[in-house]
Structure 1
Amino acid sequence: MSRAEASAPLTETITDVRPPRALWSLGLLRNEVLTTFRRWRTLALLAVLAAVPVLVGIAVKIETGDGGGAGGGGGGAGPAFISQVTNNGLFLVFTALAATLPFFLPMAVGVVAGDAIAGEASAGTLRYLLVAPAGRTRLLLTKYATVLTFCLAATLVVAVSALAVGALLFPLGEVTTISGTRISFAEGLGRALLIALVVAASLVGVAALGLFVSTLTGSGIAAMATTVGLLITVQILDQIPQLHALQPYFLSHYWLSFADLLREPVYWDDLVKNLGLQTLYAAVFGSAAWARFTAKDVTA
Structure 2
Amino acid sequence: MASMAPTVSGRVPAGVRPQTAAGFLALFRSEITLTFRRTRTIALLGLLAALPVLLGVVVKIETGDMHGGANGPAFIAQVTQNGLFLVFAALAVALPVFLPMTVGVVAGDSIAGEAATGTLRYLLVAPAGRTRLLAAKFLAAMVFCWAATLAVALSALATGAALFPMGSMTLLSGDTVGLGGALLRAVLIAGVVALSLAGLVAIGLFVSTLTGSGIAAMATTVGLVILVQILDSFPQLHAIQPWLFTHQWLTFGDLLRAPMYWTGILQNLGLQALYLAVFGSAAWARFTSRDVTA
- Answer whether TM exceeds 0.5 for this pair: yes
Does residue 215 (structure 1) correspond to residue 190 (structure 2)? The answer is no
Do the aligned residues in 1 keep the contact of 2:111 with 2:209 (CA within 8 Å)? yes
Secondary structure in structure 2 of the residue aligned to 1:86:
helix
After superposition, where does 1:62-77 map in structure 2 within 5 Å?
Answer: 62-67=61-66, 70-74=69-73
Shift of 1:66: 3.5
Instruction: Flag structure 2 segments of 5+ consecutive residues without an equivalent.
Output: 1-13
Separation in 1 of the partners of 2:65 and 2:55? Answer: 15
Does residue 176 (structure 1) correspond to residue 170 (structure 2)? The answer is yes
Q: Cα RMSD between the aligned structures?
A: 1.5
Q: Please state which structure has a larger fraction of its residues in helix.
A: 1
Secondary structure in structure 2 of the residue aligned to 1:65:
coil
Q: Name the structure 1 match of 2:91.
A: 97
Residue by residue over 1:65-102, the C-alpha shift from the partner in whole angstroms, topping out at 9 and shown as x without a partner, is 23375154435xxxx4x331111000000000000000
**AA paired with 1:276?**
G
Separation in 2 of the partners of 1:48 and 1:149? Answer: 18
**AA paired with 1:43?**
I
Instruction: Flag structure 1 segments of 5+ consecutive residues without an equivalent.
Output: 1-16
Count of matched residue pairs: 279
Does residue 198 (structure 1) correspond to residue 192 (structure 2)? The answer is yes
Does residue 239 (structure 1) correspond to residue 233 (structure 2)? The answer is yes
Q: Which has the larger radius of gyration?
A: 1
Separation in 1 of the partners of 2:230 and 2:254? Answer: 23
Q: Name the structure 1 match of 2:242.
A: 248
After superposition, where does 1:1-300 map in structure 2 within 5 Å?
Answer: 18-19=15-16, 21-67=20-66, 70-74=69-73, 80=75, 82-132=76-126, 135-299=129-293
Residue by residue over 1:117-154, the C-alpha shift from the partner in whole angstroms, topping out at 9 and shown as x without a partner, is 00000000000111246610000000000000000110
Residue by residue over 1:231-269, the C-alpha shift from the partner in whole angstroms, topping out at 9 and shown as x without a partner, is 100010000010011111111000000000011111111
Do the aligned residues in 2 keep the contact of 1:63 with 1:69 (CA within 8 Å)? no
Residue by residue over 1:163-183, the C-alpha shift from the partner in whole angstroms, topping out at 9 and shown as x without a partner, is 000001111010111110101
**AA paired with 2:234?**
I
**AA paired with 1:115?**
D
Give identity over the alignment, percent: 65
Separation in 2 of the partners of 1:145 and 1:154? Answer: 14
User: Are the structure 2 counterparts of residues 87 and 103 from structure 1 closer, same or farther at C-alpha, using a change threshold of 3 Å?
Assistant: same
Secondary structure in structure 2 of the residue aligned to 1:85:
helix
* 4+ residue segments displaced more than 4 Å: 17-20
Do the aligned residues in 1 keep the contact of 2:107 with 2:205 (CA within 8 Å)? yes
Separation in 2 of the partners of 1:132 and 1:60? Answer: 55
**AA paired with 1:261?**
L
